[in-house]
Amino acid sequence: MNRAQLIGRVGAGPRGGVANGHSYSNLSIATNESFVDRAGMEVKRTTWHRVVCWRGMADFANNYLIPGRLVYVEGRIQHRFYVDQYGLERCSTEIVATLLRALDPRPEYLPVFATMPKHCSDIVPEETANR
């Protein structure tokens, strides 16, 4: 089983576009954890995750997610290999979202959010849509 679930805050604003005729969005999500180490000190750690959304979820992310919004992301982990500008092979680990839901209230001060759905549960998950 390849399944990831995250609750975290959106980092920089989503970057999107169209690839192979389908809209996409790349965004970063920060998750936080805290624990007590062996010395009894509280340790706080933030981990950044790359998330890729397609189709309706991408449209939602590109139009309605702003830095700091609390979101729930569910998807699969994917490793992508590419060659960078210097000719070196690189690996990128990302989560391909199958569910994206905003968890905090809509920011009412932004007029574009007036018709935004509370969440994206009505958007067809990627694995059920044809690419």
Q: Could you state, in order of their start, the residue ranges of all structural domains in the chain?
A: 4-34+42-119
The pLDDT assigned to 66 comes to: 87
How would CATH label the architecture of 4-34+42-119? Beta Barrel (2.40)
The pLDDT assigned to 118 comes to: 47
Place 91 in a pLDDT band, splitting at 50, 70 and 90: very high
Q: How far is CA 119 from CA 17, 39, 81, 82, 86, in A?
A: 21, 42, 32, 33, 41
Place 115 in a pLDDT band, splitting at 50, 70 and 90: very low
Convert the pLDDT of each residue in 13-64 to its tens digit: 889 888 888 899 999 999 999 999 999 999 999 999 999 999 989 998 988 8
How far apart are alpha carbons 117 and 99 in whole angstroms? Answer: 14
Q: How far is CA 34 from CA 50, 56, 107, 124, in A?
A: 21, 34, 28, 34
Q: Write down the pTM of the prediction.
A: 0.74
Say if residues 65 and 19 touch (Cβ distance below 8 Å).
no
